[in-house]
Amino acid sequence: MSKHLLKFSVNGKDYAVVVESHERLLDVLRDKLGLKGTKEGCSTGDCGICGVLMDGRLVNSCLIFAIQARNKKIVTIEGIGSAEKLHPIQRAFMKWNAAQCGYCIPAMILASKDLLEKNPNPTTEDIKNATRGIICRCTGYVKIFEAVKTAASEMRGSE
Amino acid sequence: MFVPENLGDLLQYLDSHQAGVHLIANGTDLINRIQRRQVSPKVLVDLTGLTEFRYVKWEGGMIKIGGLTTISELVASPFMDSRYDVFREVAMKFGGPSIINMATVGGNICSASSSEDLLPVLLVLDAEVQVRNIHGVRTLRVEDFVKGKRMTDLKPNEILVETSFREIDSHSACSFEKVGMRNSLIIAFVNCAVFLKLAENKMCDEIRIAFNRVNGKIPQRARQTEKIMKGKKLNEQSLSDAVATLRNELKLTSDFRASEEYRLEVACAIFKRAVSRCVDRLAGEEILV
């Protein structure tokens, strides 16, 4: 089992962490950096719950060995807003009660952020497409899609 | 894990350490297989530092795709105009954004399982792969490179650096169909790719057809069906003759995902759909006027 020095940026902060070869990005984020907002679902890439942004693109943190994130910029749910200053997507999810158990919501919000940065005025089809890798077993998705539309219009208005 | 940052270090390492070494690109397939103990590598060699192999380019009538190009990068490339919508069809059914942002073209070829979605498309495009070791480069057809389920011609000291195929001209079209349980992450029951080149009067000048289970476990061409169709005018009759041949040619198996009988019906249906999509793509071209 070899050890590596992993240097990367998480939520705008630079980190240098000693990681083992077999450790996944998900484990390092949750257990070494204490960022528990990223959830573990199936651990096989099927459910999309562990999604984070790596260099601006949605990826499954369960399917990445931590050392493969070297020199990358990671954004987790903790990096997009704070309790005092929520991101417009987070506000819209609250407004629409888009979360029930909440387990998939960090990934849903990050997938929405990835989408809205590329496409500020998405159709429902675009939103479905952007979140199609993430399984939500409570909401039936409708309120999630509405929340993303609301966030999109708010973000367009604030530009 | 060995983490080389340049090709020289990597090839040197592979040349001197071969037993139990396993290459890893972005790991969307391999990490699962390690967790299920289907493979137990002693050492993983991380390829992701070799960013020079992330490209899509056009050179001398050929489209060339670097081995570490992700599926997302491939479909976003400016070279992938509407002639190459077949890759968008693959991407939509390949996996959700978090998978296609990671899964690489080279990884999909080297994984060589029965369900790899790119393989049928590369087979009908008659693509080649370029593999490299410390001593040099060799080029071989994808069809010869993939030898069986999870088996390729890649030697322990080699890596796949590029895949390439002739650009699709204005008389030709290519399409992909797949049926499985869920669009965002499915192992296909059946998938199918068709490359069609039409001559005048809807005459089938050239057709290449691939399914993921033509004869056993890996994607292969359906050559008997191709032979039946070549030179014929494309119409209801010739298409139903082709389907009859296809029924005999496909050797589908039953497993927990789907029965053999169901697979065969689906295969015939998506084959017809893929051919008619190719014809639609060519509509508007002079040959059909």
Within 8 A by CB and 6+ apart from A87, the residues are A80, A81, A109, A113
Give CA B240 to chain center in angstroms: 26
- CATH number of the domain that A131 lies in? 1.10.150.120
Specify whether A75 is located in the same domain as A93.
no
CA–CA separation, A149 vs B225, rounded Å? Answer: 48
Answer yes or no: are the C-beta atoms of B92 and B129 closer than 8 Å.
no
Q: Six-digit token pair at B274?
A: 């893929």
Determine the residue type at B115. S
- Please state at what angle helix A142-157 crosses helix A88-95, rounded to 10 degrees: 140
* Subunit contact A133:B46, Cβ cutoff 8 A: no
Cα–Cα distance measured from residue B5 to residue B8, given in angstroms and rounded to the nearest whole number:
9
Asked if residue A51 and residue A116 are part of one domain, the reply reads no
d(CA B142, CA B221): 11
Q: What is the chain A residue with the closest CA to B26?
A: A64
Q: For residues A95 and A147, what is the distance between their CA atoms, to the nearest angstrom? A: 8
Alpha carbon A45 to its chain centroid, in Å, reads 14
Highest average pLDDT, of A118-122, B177-181, B233-237, comes from A118-122
- The widest CA-to-CA distance across chain A, in whole angstroms, is 52
Q: What phi and psi values does residue A146 have, to the nearest 5 degrees?
A: -65, -40
Tokens for B206, please give them: 């050239």
CA distance B130 to chain A (A): 24
| pLDDT score at A158 | 67
Same domain, A30 and A51: yes
For the segment B271-280, the average pLDDT, to the nearest whole number, is 93
Angstroms from B182 CA to nearest CA on chain A? 10
For B181-206, write each residue's pLDDT tens digit: 665 556 667 889 999 999 877 889 99
Any idea what DSSP says for residue B146?
Answer: E
Return the higher-pLDDT residue of B222 and B217.
B222
Contact A81, A90 (CB under 8 A): yes
How close, in Å, is residue A156 to chain B by CA atoms?
23
**A33 and A71 inside one domain:** yes
Find the residue in B nearest to A67 (Cα): B3
pLDDT at A72: 97
Residue of A nearest to B187 (CA): A46
Q: Tally the C-alpha atoms within 13 A of residue B119's C-alpha that lie toward its C-beta.
A: 32
Q: In chain B, which residues have their Cβ closer than 8 Å to the Cβ of A70? A: 3
Q: CA of B262 to nearest chain A CA: how many angstroms apart? A: 25
- B113 touching chain A per CB within 8 A: no
Total domains present in chain A: 2
* Distance, CA of B183 to CA of B99 (rounded, Å): 12
The pairing of strands B21-24 and B43-46 is parallel
Give the range of the structural domain holding residue A12, as residue numbers without chain letter.
3-79
Residue to mutate among A22, A23, A59, with most B CBs inside 10 A, is: A59
A72/A96 same-domain check: no
Residue B186 has what pLDDT? 62
CB atoms within 10 A of CB A128: 16
User: Does A72 lie in the same domain as A116?
Assistant: no
User: How far is the first Cα of chain B from the last one, in angstroms, to the nearest whole number?
Assistant: 59
Which of residues A33, A52, A79 is at a domain's end? A79
Residues A57 and A100 in one domain: no
Give pLDDT tens digits for B76-135: 999 999 999 999 999 988 888 999 999 999 999 998 876 778 999 999 999 999 999 999
Q: What was the pLDDT predicted at B185? A: 58
SS3 B141: strand
- Residue A119 has phi, psi (to 5 degrees) of -140, 90
Q: Quick one: pLDDT at residue B288?
A: 44
B157 touches chain A (CB under 8 A): no
**B181 touches A at CB < 8 Å:** no
Q: What is the complex's ipTM, to 2 decimals?
A: 0.91
Nearest to B1 among A2, A131, A132 (CB): A2
The reply to whether A7 and A73 lie within a common domain is: yes
Structure token digits, residue B79? 């070279």
Identity of the residue in B3, B32, B95 whose CB atom sits nearest the CB atom of A133: B95
B46, B98, B183: residue with CB nearest A59: B98
**Nearest Cα residue to A91 out of A103, A101, A80:** A80
Give the angle B32-B34-B39 at the CA atoms, nearest 5°.
125
Closest residue in A to B185 (Cα) is A46
**CATH number, position A19:** 3.10.20.30
| Chain B residues near residue A111 by CB distance under 8 angstroms | 97-98
Average pLDDT value over all residues in chain B: 90
| Residue B287: predicted pLDDT | 46
Query: Which residue stretches of chain A have pLDDT < 50?
Result: none
Whether residues A112 and A141 share a domain: the answer is yes
Domain boundary among A35, A59, A79: A79
Residue of A81 and B257 predicted with greater confidence? A81
Find the closest chain B residue to A20 by CA distance.
B1
CB B45 within 8 A of CB B24: yes
Sketch out chain B's domains with CATH numbers.
52-166 (3.30.465.10), 172-288 (3.30.390.50)
Residue B217, pLDDT above cutoff 80: no
Identify whether residues A110 and A64 lie together within a single domain.
Answer: no
Residue A34's DSSP bridge partners are none
Cβ-defined contact of A65 to B183 (cutoff 8 Å):
no
Nearest CA in chain A to B92: A129
- Residue A18: what residue type? V
Q: Name which of B1, B32, B99 is nearest A133 (Cβ-Cβ).
A: B99
User: Are A72 and A64 spatial neighbours (Cβ–Cβ below 8 Å)?
Assistant: no
Confidence of residue B19 (pLDDT cuts 50, 70, 90): confident
From A79, A107, A125, give the residue that closes a domain.
A79
Helices B260-282, B236-249: inter-axial angle, 10-degree rounding = 140
Handedness of CA B274, B280, B281, B283 (dihedral sign): positive
- Looking at the partner chain, which of A64, A111, A132 has a beta carbon nearest the beta carbon of B27? A64
Closest to B29 in 3D by CA, of B119, B147, B108, B117? B108
Asked if A98 and A146 count as a contact pair (C-beta separation under 8 A), the reply is: yes
